[in-house]
Amino acid sequence: MNAVPAAVIILAAGEGTRMKSSTPKVLHRIGGLSLVGHAIRAARETQAQFVEVVVRHEREQVVEFCTGFDPDLVVADQDEVRGTGRAVECGLDALPADLEGTVLVTYGDVPLLSGETLRDLVAAHAASGSVASVVTAHVPNPTGYGRIVRASDGGVERIVEQKDAAEHELAITEINSGIYAFDAAVLREALGQVGTANAQGEKYLTDVVEIASRAGHRVSAHVIDDLWQTEGVNDRVQLAALGKVLNQRICERHMRNGVTIVDPATTWIDTDVSIGQDTTILPFTELLGATSIGAGASIGPLVSLVDTEVGDGAKVVRAECVLAEIGAEASVGPFSYLRPGTVLGAKGKIGGFVETKNADIGPGAKVPHLTYAGDVTIGEGANIGAGTIFANYDGIAKHHTTIGKHSFIGSDTVIVAPVDVGDGAYVAAGSALTKDVEPGEIAVARGQQRNVDGWVARARAGTKTDAAARAAREAGARHTDSSATGGEASAQ
């Protein structure tokens, strides 16, 4: 047999009622990827000629995801006949009639099954000369699983489901994972002989094993120690349990590749995240989607990065970043929100309580404190003072602001877009800027201060404020009188 399978059939037709969800079970996610997405990736790692998904429940949603995720997938529809045997039969009908070689059968709700395990199954299946091989495991409590009944020669004689098992068969601890390798021709012929005379009234795929064994063919068991790879998701409790195990494995992989994760129990990392060597991930951090982090960076604590790129040596603390780019040796946070379209250049800074969106912040530029920067280009080395607001929305449309290189925006400035501030320019603190500023100019856009004497006494008479003002004035008057008297005495 060829060590590369001819096809992988992924069964994803079940209703998944125990999830109690409007979302199809196989589209629930762990590690940033749907359950069926994990199954498709593992199947593709076998290099099979065909990878197929069999669907029925919520077909449109499942097919839309699967074909978007992998446009080369074959899609097959299961009809009203129930059971895994019928699902595989429908899958075979959608593949070429002359298909030869090994056919793998897996499931859309078994997310920890790896491509490596599937390749090992194919290799063992080919080496044994079997027409069918089933992945099995020994468990201390086999309740609920189909049991593996061995033949005298050590091969698999049959698989009996829990509800159909006799008392002595229930004591068997070797269980059926439901993951198989079959010879395509034998599988097709045996499925034609499978009926529905069982406790569930379903067409069992497990019956193929007994049919093949009775016909004198060899059926083998491929025993694995990693039981999590055989675990399926039936409800949200199991979804969380497998998600936790997957996350632990992802964290371990990164740590073995040279990443320091201070507390893996409070660190969540999606499957597609990449992290460079000597980066440190601090507690209560989540790295999601296609996030990419360079070498020697420090991320956390309390950081959420979604589809964000972080350069070498950068530091992000107590921040949320979505679809953002953070340059090498730049710093972000604490308590900052980088929204989509934010690009922070090398050695730049986005400081505390800053929100950015569609903001291109040049190398070495600083937005240190209490600022909203939306729809803005900030040049290299520019400094944006505390409390600056880029007023980019006029109620109808968004407008853009450009801040030149090495320019300086004073604290508590409102820049009413669209405005261009030239290179090396200044804007005075407290300005409300509505016009362009040329290179080298300073713009002062604020009203002249006017102090109205006696306003509190007239407008707030009898209040604590009025009392405090009167006391201060009287104290000031006494001090003036005392100073004047002292001066006269000294003159004498």
- β-partners of residue 52 are 9, 74
Q: Helices (H), strands (E): how many in the chain?
A: 10, 39
**Can you give the pLDDT at residue 480?**
75
Residue type present at position 156: V
CA distances from 31 to 105, 124, 179, 439 (A): 23, 30, 22, 50
**Can you give the pLDDT at residue 92?**
97
Catalytic (active site) residue 38: no
Q: Is the pLDDT of residue 22 over 90?
A: yes
Reference 252, options 232, 219, 275; nearest CA is: 275
CA distance 231 to 108: 11
Residue type present at position 312: D
Cβ atoms of 330 and 311 within 8 Å: the answer is: yes
The tens digit of pLDDT for each residue in 295-323 reads 999 999 999 999 999 999 999 999 999 99
The tens digit of pLDDT for each residue in 254-270 reads 999 999 999 999 999 99
Among the options 138, 217, 369, 399, which is catalytic?
369
Q: Is the pLDDT of residue 123 over 60?
A: yes
| Residue 150 CB-half CA count within 13 A | 12
**Can you give the pLDDT at residue 486?**
59
Domains of the chain with bracketed CATH: 7-230 (3.90.550.10), 253-443 (2.160.10.10)
